[in-house]
């Protein structure tokens, strides 16, 4: 398996394809900007000076490397060795900062003045606002009106950080519509503005670039597991919205024997329930009706409430290298509380999906080592959970 | 450069242009209340081509007016199939093209979609989220049935790109009037005439400015350089506010304005 996997999770093809997924399906207006971004990223990624600058930011500003933590109580309860990759401990509270520091540093290098971003849970918006503040750029964040309501705390954080937050009232008023609005903004502002996309989705080079910016998660975790346990984990589990935290951690283990599990919400199962389609600049699995109208996702978690998925996940699914099961909102609410009570860690609702799958499937994984990406902390979700749990 | 084989749409449009007429292309959202009558009214009042929008759930190139129209049409149950059925009943004399987002095409399948359009009497297609590099499979299917793929050219395109866009354009080149999405603006953007000028220098395919041409005065200004204009949000807003008759009146007004300056 390791030989055939060597080319997996390297560069996409010239047209930005992972197998038959990906591409660059954007209005003509945006094609030159995508080409320019691709060239700039390729150049910067190969430049030791850029890499050193980014590494320094990741270390001194974001707080990397993030630790791994073994969950002794929960592990014993489930009959597995459960290890968390602690992306919740990064500055701003999630993995999103890895990508954002990379993109905003790149945007600055490209001479852009403004950042525009979409956000679901608000974590990417907060990270974007943070990086923009740090690097002296203006930032505008589009957020679905439904999410503005359920993630009010993050809206206020973004404003504190000096960003402008615009509620999006079209369509399902969630992440999908925030992406639409951010793309519309970019079509009009492309000459001075960088679109800081928040996941491994969108037109080429975004899925590739964002994955590379998150590769640090997997590289660190691989080394940390080897050092701590002397072996690779049997399972690597992450939640999947667009799929950036999942690809980040998968990238460190794709050439091992570990089973890679991307957990989708039952109400937003692009891989599980979708068919190939094209929206937001990419060809990927997509929840759509018989005429190709994109369907609305429904998830308790704003960050996973998305009918599509990054194209590289579609590819990994199509070749069978990764699996994409689903969990229900009810299972997620249980997992959220389980982690808080047994480990003293309040997880983000997004990564509570990963734990929900692990605790459901634990009977089939007895004695195995399971590495879970704890992509963010749950402070932002406490208000919403207070209402749900009464 | 002359395309290898001119589509019927392009033959018609070149002849009109060469006879000194500016081309007027109103846009109507398919499935929106009154849309078939709006098309009849536009045809009767001087349209040279009519662009029919197939509503999509995620119209990223459209501003608030056309977004709202698309949503209303979808809420009323419009589908590509129901709209093409409506098109068959139209009996108008003006060439009809569709504007649709690529997932509508992709989902149906390239060959199947091209043949559905052809059988409904549609002669061309504008797919705003299908750029040159991704257009191969669709263009092949469209070419095979003689359907014109109308390529968009954007103000951001470098000089090196425009000839390749024009070489692939059939029917006309859609010269995007501004950096931004569809919608009415108080003035014609400077980019509109600039891009049309660049295109006119390098192609003999009719060059029509669309996006942000918002009234008859702007239409006249755009036609100083271009071979014609698309009128989108201004038409759709009138259909939503005043019904098909308001569309007829508006198209007649724009027709008269652009004709007055060309004689
Ligand atoms: C903590 C956390 N995890 C996961 C996600 C989902 O994004 P992705 O699938 O790109 O990792 C989000 C998105 O908002 C998030 O905030």
Is pLDDT above 80 for B262? no
The pairing of strands A17-18 and A21-25 is antiparallel
Residue B2: inside a domain, yes or no?
no
Task: Say if ligand 1 is within 6 A of residue A239 CB.
Answer: yes
Burial class (CB in 10 A: 0-12, 13-18, 19+), B242: middle
Overall domain count for chain A: 2
Least confidently predicted of A291-305, A322-336, B28-42, B107-121? A291-305
**C-alpha of residue A33 to centroid of ligand 1, in Å:** 26
Judge whether A204 is closer than 8 Å to chain B, CB to CB.
no
Q: Domain check: are A87 and A33 in the same one?
A: no
Q: On the CB side of A251, how many CA atoms lie within 13 Å of its CA?
A: 24
Instruction: Give the separation between CA A260 and CA A239, rounded to whole angstroms.
Output: 11
The pairing of strands A164-168 and A193-195 is unpaired
Judge whether A292 is closer than 8 Å to chain B, CB to CB.
yes
Residue B4 has what pLDDT?
A: 59
Residue A172 has what pLDDT?
A: 87
Residue B88: inside a domain, yes or no?
yes
Q: How many CB atoms lie within 10 A of CB B19?
A: 7
Q: What is the ipTM of this complex?
A: 0.96
Q: Which of A197, A238, A245 maximizes ligand 1 atoms within 8 Å of its Cβ, making it the mutation to test the pocket? A: A245
**Catalytic: A139?**
no
- Give the residue ranges of chain A where pLDDT is below 50: 1-6
Q: Domain check: are A181 and A232 in the same one?
A: no
B132 vs A277: CB contact, 8 Å cut-off?
no
Give me the total of CB pairs closer than 8 Å, taking one residue from chain A and one from chain B. 117
A291 vs B155: CB contact, 8 Å cut-off?
no
Structure tokens at A5: 């996997």
Nearest chain B residue to A181 by CA: give it. Answer: B60
Q: What is the pTM of this model?
A: 0.97
Q: Domain check: are A122 and A249 in the same one?
A: no
Q: Domain check: are A83 and A225 in the same one?
A: yes
Residue ranges of the alpha helices (H) in chain A?
31-45, 48-60, 72-78, 96-109, 123-135, 145-150, 152-160, 175-189, 206-229, 244-250, 270-273, 311-318, 329-343, 349-361, 382-389
User: Quick one: which atom of ligand 1 is closest to the CA of A121?
Assistant: 14
Is pLDDT above 50 for B1? no
Bridge partners of B23?
B228
Q: Min CA distance, A192 vs chain B (Å)?
A: 12
Residue B157: inside a domain, yes or no?
yes
Residue A299: inside a domain, yes or no?
yes
At which of A155, A183, A206 does a domain end? A206
The dihedral built from the CA positions of residue A365, A370, A376 and A382, taken in this order, carries a sign that is positive
Is pLDDT above 50 for B256? yes
Q: Domain check: are A124 and A272 in the same one?
A: no
Residue A150 has what pLDDT?
A: 85
Least CB-CB distance to A187: which of B71, B151, B181? B181
The CATH number that applies at residue A255 is: 3.40.50.1100
Q: Domain check: are A256 and A357 in the same one?
A: yes
B106 vs A23: CB contact, 8 Å cut-off?
no
A188 vs B71: CB contact, 8 Å cut-off?
no
Asked if B215 and B234 count as a contact pair (C-beta separation under 8 A), the reply is yes
Residue B167: inside a domain, yes or no?
yes
Residue B53: inside a domain, yes or no?
yes
Asked if A64 and A58 count as a contact pair (C-beta separation under 8 A), the reply is yes
Q: Min CA distance, B137 vs chain A (Å)?
A: 13
Q: Give which of A35, A116, A184, A192 to mutate to test B binding, by max B Cβ within 10 Å.
A: A184
DSSP A336-350: HHHHHHHHS--B-HH
Residue B224: inside a domain, yes or no?
yes
Q: Mark out chain B residues that contact chain A at CB-CB < 8 A.
A: 56-61, 63, 67, 71, 74, 79-81, 102-104, 106-108, 128-134, 151-158, 161, 165, 176, 178-181
Nearest chain A residue to B152 by CA: give it. Answer: A28
Greatest Cα pair distance in chain B: 46
Residue B174: inside a domain, yes or no?
yes
Cα-flanking dihedrals φ and ψ of residue A292, to 5°? Answer: 85, 10
Is pLDDT above 90 for B90? yes
**C-alpha of residue A119 to centroid of ligand 1, in Å:** 10
Instruction: Give the separation between CA B251 and CA B44, rounded to whole angstroms.
Output: 9
B181 vs A contacts (CB less than 8 Å): 184, 187-188
Please name the residues in contact with A11: beta carbons below 8 A apart, sequence gap of 6 or more: A208
**Catalytic: A298?**
no
Overall domain count for chain B: 1
| Domain housing B137 | 8-260
User: Quick one: which atom of ligand 1 is closest to the CA of A245?
Assistant: 11
| Domain housing A335 | 63-94+215-389
Q: Domain check: are A375 and A294 in the same one?
A: yes
Residue A12: inside a domain, yes or no?
no
- The chain-wide mean pLDDT, for chain B, equals 96
Judge whether A187 is closer than 8 Å to chain B, CB to CB.
yes
Residue A171 has what pLDDT?
A: 87
Q: Of residues B10, B37, B48, B51, which has the active-site annotation?
A: B51
Residue B263 has what pLDDT?
A: 58
Residue B261 has what pLDDT?
A: 86
Q: Min CA distance, B60 vs chain A (Å)?
A: 5
A28 vs B57: CB contact, 8 Å cut-off?
no
Is pLDDT above 80 for B238? yes
Residue A273 has what pLDDT?
A: 87
Is pLDDT above 90 for B142? yes
Q: Of residues A34, A71, A139, A239, which has the active-site annotation?
A: A71
Residue A358 has what pLDDT?
A: 98
Q: Domain check: are A81 and A124 in the same one?
A: no
Instruction: Give the separation between CA A99 and CA A106, rounded to whole angstroms.
Output: 11
Residue A60 has what pLDDT?
A: 98
Residue A11: inside a domain, yes or no?
no
Using DSSP, state whether A286 is helix, strand or coil.
Answer: strand
Instruction: Give the separation between CA A86 and CA A95, rounded to whole angstroms.
Output: 9
Using DSSP, state whether A195 is helix, strand or coil.
Answer: strand
Task: Say if ligand 1 is within 6 A of residue A243 CB.
Answer: yes
Residue B71: inside a domain, yes or no?
yes
Q: Domain check: are A270 and A139 in the same one?
A: no
Q: How many CB atoms lie within 10 A of CB A84?
A: 27
- To the nearest 10 degrees (0 to 180), the angle between helices B110-119 and B80-88 is 30
Residue ranges of the alpha helices (H) in B180-243?
190-202, 216-223, 233-242
Is pLDDT above 70 for B199? yes
What pLDDT digit, counting tens, does each position of A32-68 carry? 999 999 999 999 999 999 999 999 999 999 999 999 9
Nearest chain B residue to A288 by CA: give it. Answer: B107
What's the pLDDT band for B3 if we cut at 50, 70, 90? Answer: very low
A292 vs B104: CB contact, 8 Å cut-off?
yes
Q: Domain check: are A200 and A219 in the same one?
A: no
The CATH number that applies at residue B13 is: 3.20.20.70
Residues belonging to chain A = 390
Residue A2: inside a domain, yes or no?
no
At which of A206, A225, A251 does a domain end? A206
At which of A174, A206, A238 does a domain end? A206
Residue A332: inside a domain, yes or no?
yes
């Amino acid at each position: 398996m390791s030989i055939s996997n060597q080319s997996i999770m390297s560069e996409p093809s010239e047209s930005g394809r992972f197998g038959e997924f990906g591409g660059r399906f954007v209005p003509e207006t945006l094609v030159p900007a995508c080409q320019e971004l691709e060239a700039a990223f390729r150049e910067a990624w190969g430049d030791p000076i850029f890499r050193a600058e980014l590494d320094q930011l990741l270390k001194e500003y974001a707080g990397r490397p993030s630790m791994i933590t073994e969950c002794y109580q929960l592990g014993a309860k489930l009959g597995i060795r459960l290890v968390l990759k602690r992306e919740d401990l990064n500055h701003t509270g999630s993995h999103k900062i890895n990508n954002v520091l990379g993109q905003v540093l790149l945007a600055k290098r490209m001479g852009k003045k403004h950042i525009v971003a979409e956000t679901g849970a608000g974590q990417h918006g907060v990270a974007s606002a943070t990086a923009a503040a740090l690097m002296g750029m203006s930032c505008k964040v589009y957020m679905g009106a439904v999410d503005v309501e359920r993630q009010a705390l993050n809206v206020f954080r973004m404003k504190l950080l000096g960003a402008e937050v615009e509620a999006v009232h079209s369509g399902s008023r969630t992440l999908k519509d925030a992406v639409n609005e951010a793309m519309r903004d970019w079509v009009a502002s492309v000459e001075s503005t960088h679109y800081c996309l928040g996941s491994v989705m969108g037109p080429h080079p975004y899925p590739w670039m964002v994955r590379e910016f998150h590769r640090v998660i997997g590289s660190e975790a691989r080394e940390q597991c080897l050092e701590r346990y002397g072996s690779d984990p049997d399972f690597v589990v992450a939640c999947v919205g667009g799929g950036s935290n999942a690809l980040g951690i998968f990238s460190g283990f794709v050439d091992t024997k570990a089973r890679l599990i991307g957990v989708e919400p039952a109400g937003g199962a692009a891989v599980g329930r979708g068919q190939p389609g094209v929206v937001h600049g990419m060809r990927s699995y997509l929840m759509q009706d018989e005429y190709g109208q994109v369907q609305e996702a429904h998830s308790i978690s704003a960050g996973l409430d998305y009918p599509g998925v990054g194209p590289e996940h579609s590819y990994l699914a199509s070749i069978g290298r990764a699996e994409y099961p689903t969990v229900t909102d009810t299972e997620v609410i249980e997992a959220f509380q389980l982690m808080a009570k047994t480990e003293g860690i309040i997880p983000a609702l997004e990564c509570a999906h990963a734990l929900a799958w692990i605790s459901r499937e634990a009977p089939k994984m007895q004695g195995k080592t399971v590495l879970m990406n704890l992509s963010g902390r749950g402070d932002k979700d406490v208000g919403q959970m207070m209402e749900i749990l009464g | 450069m002359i395309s290898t084989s001119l589509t019927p749409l392009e033959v018609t449009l070149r002849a009109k242009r060469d006879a000194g007429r500016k081309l007027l292309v109103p846009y109507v959202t398919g499935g929106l209340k009154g849309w078939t009558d709006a098309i009849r009214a536009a045809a009767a009042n001087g349209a040279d081509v009519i662009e029919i929008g197939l509503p999509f759930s995620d119209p990223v190139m459209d501003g608030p007016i056309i977004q709202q129209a698309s949503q209303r049409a979808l809420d009323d149950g419009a589908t590509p199939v129901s709209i093409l059925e409506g098109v068959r009943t139209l009996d108008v004399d003006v060439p009809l093209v569709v504007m649709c987002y690529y997932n509508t095409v992709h989902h149906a399948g390239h060959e199947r979609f091209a043949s559905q359009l052809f059988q409904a009497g549609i002669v061309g297609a504008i797919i705003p989220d299908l750029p040159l590099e991704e257009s191969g499979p669709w263009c092949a299917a469209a070419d095979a049935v003689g359907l014109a793929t109308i390529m968009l050219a954007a103000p951001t395109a470098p000089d090196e790109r425009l000839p390749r866009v024009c070489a692939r354009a059939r029917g006309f080149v859609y010269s995007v009037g501004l950096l931004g999405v569809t919608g009415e603006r108080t003035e014609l953007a400077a980019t509109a005439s600039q891009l049309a000028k660049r295109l006119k220098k390098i192609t003999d395919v009719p060059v029509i400015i669309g996006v942000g041409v918002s009234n008859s005065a702007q239409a006249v200004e755009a036609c100083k350089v271009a071979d014609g204009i698309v009128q989108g949000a201004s038409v759709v807003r009138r259909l939503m506010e005043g019904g098909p008759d308001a569309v007829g009146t508006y198209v007649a007004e724009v027709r008269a304005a652009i004709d007055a300056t060309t004689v």
